[in-house]
Amino acid sequence: MFPVDFLIFLQIILFLFITPGPPRVVIVSHTINYGLKNSVWTAFGDVSANTCQGILAVFFVGTFLKDNPEALNFLKWAGIFYIIYLAYDTYTAKIKSIDSKITFTKSKLSFYKDGFLVAGLSPKAIVFFTTIFISFIDFNGSYYIQFLILMTTYVVLDFSTLMIYGLAAEKISIYLKDKPKLLNTISACVLILIALFIAFNQSYWAILNCCYLFNFIVKLSIIN
C-alpha cells in the first residue's frame, strides 16, 4: 500500500463520516435524551460493528456478499426496519432534563447494542467494507499489517466524528431545553427519511460506486 493510497483512503472515509447517516443521528438522539456519557457506549457499539465488518470482509465473507446480492439485500432491509424502530423509540423517549439527576433504566449494554446494530446492519458500511475497503489492501503483501493500519485509522476517525456530533448535540440541547420534544421529533423524522432513502434511492449506492471508481482511476494513473 502506497502513501498516496492511504491519503485517498482518508479522503473517502472522511467524506462518508461527515455525511449524517443513521449512526450519527442515533448519537445525537441518545446525547439529547440520555447525555453524552451514555452515548459514548453507542459510539463504542458502532466502531465494534465496523471492526467486525472489516474483519469479515477481508478474511471471510467479502466475496460471498459480492457474489450473493440477495444476502446483502436481506441485511439492507433488516437495517431499515431497525432504523424505523429507533425512530419510534426516539420519538417516544422520555425527555432528559438538563439539570436532572435521574438514573435512567436504559443500560450501557442497551446503548452499545443500538450502536452495534445500527452500524452492523448499515448497507453503506457493508458495501464499503466489501468493495472499497478491501480494494486498498494488497493481498500479495503483508495484508495483516495493512488491515491493522486501515482499520485503526477508520475506527479512530469514526469514533472522533461520532463524538463531535454528540458534543454538538449537547450544546444544541442546552439552547433548546425549553422545547426538548422538538429535538426528538426532528431526530425521529430524519431517521425515517434515511430509512426511506436507503430503501428507494439508488444514488445511495452510486456515491459508493463513485468513491470506488475514483480510487481505481487514481491507482491506474499512478501505475501508468
Range of the domain at 186: 3-223
User: pLDDT over 70 for what percent of the chain?
Assistant: 64
Number of domains observed in the structure of the chain: 1
The sign of the CA dihedral 80, 81, 86, 92 is: positive
| 75 alpha-carbon distance from chain centroid | 15
Mean residue pLDDT of the chain comes to 75
pLDDT in tens, 41-60: 999 999 999 999 999 888 87
For residues 136 and 150, the answer to whether their CB atoms sit within 8 Å is: yes
For residues 127 and 72, the answer to whether their CB atoms sit within 8 Å is: yes
pLDDT of residue 203: 47
pLDDT of residue 85: 73
Gap between the Cα atoms of 97 and 88, Å rounded: 20
- Which of the four pLDDT bands, split at 50, 70 and 90, describes residue 72? low
Q: In the predicted model, is pLDDT for residue 99 greater than 60?
A: no
pLDDT in tens, 13-50: 887 787 777 888 889 888 888 889 999 999 999 999 99
